[in-house]
Structure 1
Amino acid sequence: MGNKATNTNKQIQILSGRGLTLDFPEAKVKEFLLDIGYYRLGFYWHHFEIDDDHNFAPDSKLSDVIGLYYLDVDLRNILLKYLNRIEIHFRTKVIYYVSNKFKDFPAWFADDAIVNNSFIQSTPFKTSMLNRVYTPEFINNNKTLKKHHQNNPQDTYAPAWKVLEFFTFGVLLNLFKNIKDTDIKKRVTESMGILNIDKFENLMSAVVLIRNICSHGDVLYDFNTPRGLSVIPGIDFVNSDRNSLNACLKVIAYFLKHISENREKDFINDIETIFKENSKNAVIEKIIKEKIKYQ
C-alpha cells in the first residue's frame, strides 16, 4: 500500500489489480476492510502472493483469505483457554515449592542467595528484570500489593505468594530460570512431567511464546519456533518436526496431560474439531497440513 493511507475503494482496486478474486458483494468486501483492516488482512493474503510486487497466485480468492483469518482467530481463542491453565498451574507450583523451601524468606524472589543477582540487581548499563517489573505503578495497579505496602510500609517487597500472582508468564519463567537451587527446580519440572530442567525451560519457553502471540492477536498459523523443541519421552514429533505450530500443540497437550488428563482430552478434541471443520475448504486444508503441519 505504500506510505499513504487509502480508502476502501482504492484498496479494492489494488487487490483486484493484483489478481485477487473478490468473491463477495462490494459492500461485504468493504465491511471486511473496515472491520478487520487492510493491513491486518495482508498478513493472511501474503500466503497467496507469488512475487515481490504482491501479485496473487491464479485462483486466489478473498473468501480463502477470510477463512484463513478466522481459522487463526479461532485457534488463538482455543489456545488461550488451555494456555491459561498451564500458566496458572506453573505459577502455583513455583510459589508453593520455592516458598515452602525458603520459609524464612517470604520475598525470596528478591534474595540473591536464592535467585541469580542478574534478575534482581540493576547495573549502570542494564535495568534488572525485577526492577523493570516491581515499580510503584506495578504496586498501585494491583490492589493486593497496594494494600500490603500500605499495611507494611517497612517491606521493600510483598511476599512471593502475593507478588508472583501478578508477574506475567514470561517474567515468571525468567524468574524460574534464575533460581539457584536445582533440587527445588526439579520438583517443579518433575511435577509437570519433565525430568531435565533445561528441556523443561526450552519447552515452556515455546509455550510462553505461543501465549504471547495469542494474547497480542499476532499471526499464528505460520508460526515456527526460533529454536528446535527439546525431545522428551512422551512427545512424538512427527517426521522430526520440532519447530511448527503443530509441534507446539503437542507440547501443550503434554503439559495439560500432567495437569489433568480430562483437560488434555478436551484440548485435543477442540483442536481436532476446528481443523476438521476448516478442512472442508481445500485451500485451508492444504495450509493446515503444509504450514501448521497438522496431520
Structure 2
Amino acid sequence: MAGLATSIENQIKKLRERGMVLDIEEDKIIEILLDIGYYRLGFYWHPFEIDADHNFAEGTKLSTVIDLYYLDVDLRYLLIKYINRLELNFRTNLIYWASMRYDPNAIWYTDPTIMEQEYLKDIKSHYNKNFKKKNIQISKHHAKYPDDRYAPCWKTFEYYTFGSIVKVYEHIIDQDVRKEICLQYAIKKPERLQNFLDTLVFVRNSCAHSGVIFDLHIDEGVSGVPGVKFNNDYSHSLDSAIKALLYLMDNISSNRKNELEKKLVKLLDKFADNGVIKDIVEKKLGYHYDN
C-alpha cells in the first residue's frame, strides 16, 4: 500500500522525531495541520530535509516553515493581480489588431484562411450550447441574431481564459498580424512573445490553483528578456518568469511595472532578518538583500 492515513497526533510526533523544532503552541500546530495539511506543508519543509528519510537539518523550526508558506501565499496573490492586468491588455491588443486586419470579418477566429486547422478543430467542441448558455452576453447575442453561428471576437474572447486567448494568437496563420501584436510589447519575434505568454499562463494557473510558487519549475524555460540577466543564468525558475512579466508590464504601463517591483521588494524584505528564508529567496528568486 502506498500510504496510510495518519492522525494529527502522529503527524506531530513524526515531525518531532525527524528533528523539527516545534516552536509553536500545540493547539496552534493542530489548527495549522487541519487548515493547510501535513502533505501540503511538506513542500515547504522539503528545503530543510537532509536525507532520504526526511530528517530535518538541526534547528529547523516549524515557524520558519510557516513563514515560507505565507511568503508563497502572498507571492501568488501579488503575481496573479499583475498577470491579470497583462491578460486584459493582451486580449485587447489581439482583438484590435486582428480585427483591423480582417475587417469586416468579426468572427475571423473561425476562418480556415486565417486560423490553423489545429486550432479550428476544437472550436465546435468549445463554442457549444453550454458556452452560449452560461455566458450572458453570448446568450444575448444569439437570442438577438439567431442565424449567427458565432458571436464577434470582442464578445467571445471576454469569456475565454488567458490560456485560450494565447492559443488564438499562437494559431494565427499570418505572421505579419502576429508581429504587429508583439511589437506592441517591444518584441520583434512572435515566438518570443509566445514563450513569455505561455510561461505566464503557466504561472497564472499555478497561482490560481494554489500551486507552490517559490520553487516553481518552468519546463520550457523563458526566452531571453532584452537587457535582463536571469538568476544564475537559469531560465526555468520563477525569477525568469517574473522578469518576463516585468518586461511586458513596462511596455503596458511603466507605473504598473514600477508598482509591481516595489511590492515585490516590500514582500521579500520582510524576511531580511530571517537568515534561513533569506537564503531560499536569494537562491530561488534571485533577490539579493543589501548587506
The TM-score with structure 1 as length reference comes to 0.93
- 1:218-265 CA-partner distances (Å, limit 9, x unpaired): 000011221232124233334423222112111111111000010011
Residue of structure 1 in register with 2:215 after alignment: 222
In structure 1, how many angstroms separate the alpha carbons of the residues matched to 2:85 and 2:100?
22
Unaligned runs of 5+ in 1: 122-127
Residue of structure 2 in register with 1:63 after alignment: 63
In structure 1, how many angstroms separate the alpha carbons of the residues matched to 2:4 and 2:221?
40
Of stretches 207-216 and 150-159 in structure 1, the one that deviates more from structure 2 is 150-159
In structure 2, how many angstroms separate the alpha carbons of the residues matched to 1:131 and 1:205?
23
In structure 1, how many angstroms separate the alpha carbons of the residues matched to 2:264 and 2:202?
19
In structure 1, how many angstroms separate the alpha carbons of the residues matched to 2:173 and 2:148?
23
- In the TM superposition, what is the alpha-carbon distance from 1:6 to its structure 2 partner? 2.4
Of stretches 182-191 and 229-238 in structure 1, the one that deviates more from structure 2 is 229-238
In structure 2, how many angstroms separate the alpha carbons of the residues matched to 1:280 and 1:138?
51
Match of 1:157 among 150, 160, 164: 150
Distance change >3 Å, CA 52–CA 135, structure 1 → 2: farther
Question: Partner letter of residue 42 of structure 2?
Answer: G
- Local SS of the residue matching 2:236: coil
Residue of structure 1 in register with 2:140 after alignment: 147
Partners of 1:228 and 1:243 within 8 A in 2? yes
Match of 1:256 among 249, 256, 259: 249
- In the TM superposition, what is the alpha-carbon distance from 1:131 to its structure 2 partner? 3.5
In structure 2, how many angstroms separate the alpha carbons of the residues matched to 1:152 and 1:234?
50
In structure 1, how many angstroms separate the alpha carbons of the residues matched to 2:127 and 2:227?
38
Residue of structure 1 in register with 2:282 after alignment: 289
Distance change >3 Å, CA 265–CA 48, structure 1 → 2: same
Question: Partner letter of residue 99 of structure 1?
Answer: S
Question: Partner letter of residue 255 of structure 1?
Answer: L
Residue of structure 2 in register with 1:237 after alignment: 230
In structure 2, how many angstroms separate the alpha carbons of the residues matched to 1:23 and 1:268?
33
Partners of 2:225 and 2:247 within 8 A in 1? no
In structure 2, how many angstroms separate the alpha carbons of the residues matched to 1:226 and 1:133?
27
Residue of structure 1 in register with 2:83 after alignment: 83
Coordinate RMSD, CA, aligned = 1.6
Distance change >3 Å, CA 37–CA 239, structure 1 → 2: closer
Distance change >3 Å, CA 238–CA 292, structure 1 → 2: closer
Aligned residue pair count: 288
Distance change >3 Å, CA 238–CA 43, structure 1 → 2: closer
Question: Partner letter of residue 61 of structure 2?
Answer: K
Q: Does 1:184 align with 2:168?
A: no
- Local SS of the residue matching 1:291: helix
Residue of structure 1 in register with 2:105 after alignment: 105
Q: Does 1:28 align with 2:21?
A: no
- In the TM superposition, what is the alpha-carbon distance from 1:137 to its structure 2 partner? 1.9
Question: Partner letter of residue 246 of structure 2?
Answer: A
Partners of 1:199 and 1:230 within 8 A in 2? yes
Residue of structure 2 in register with 1:125 after alignment: none
In structure 1, how many angstroms separate the alpha carbons of the residues matched to 2:143 and 2:53?
60
- In the TM superposition, what is the alpha-carbon distance from 1:8 to its structure 2 partner? 1.4
Q: Does 1:205 align with 2:204?
A: no
Match of 2:259 among 245, 253, 266: 266
In structure 1, how many angstroms separate the alpha carbons of the residues matched to 2:104 and 2:12?
66
In structure 2, how many angstroms separate the alpha carbons of the residues matched to 1:2 and 1:31?
26
- 1:85-110 CA-partner distances (Å, limit 9, x unpaired): 10100000001111121123211111
In structure 2, how many angstroms separate the alpha carbons of the residues matched to 1:245 and 1:132?
34
In structure 1, how many angstroms separate the alpha carbons of the residues matched to 2:44 and 2:134?
36
Unaligned runs of 5+ in 2: none
Partners of 2:231 and 2:285 within 8 A in 1? no
In structure 1, how many angstroms separate the alpha carbons of the residues matched to 2:231 and 2:163?
28
Of stretches 250-259 and 138-147 in structure 1, the one that deviates more from structure 2 is 138-147
The TM-score with structure 2 as length reference comes to 0.94
- Local SS of the residue matching 1:249: helix
- Local SS of the residue matching 2:165: helix
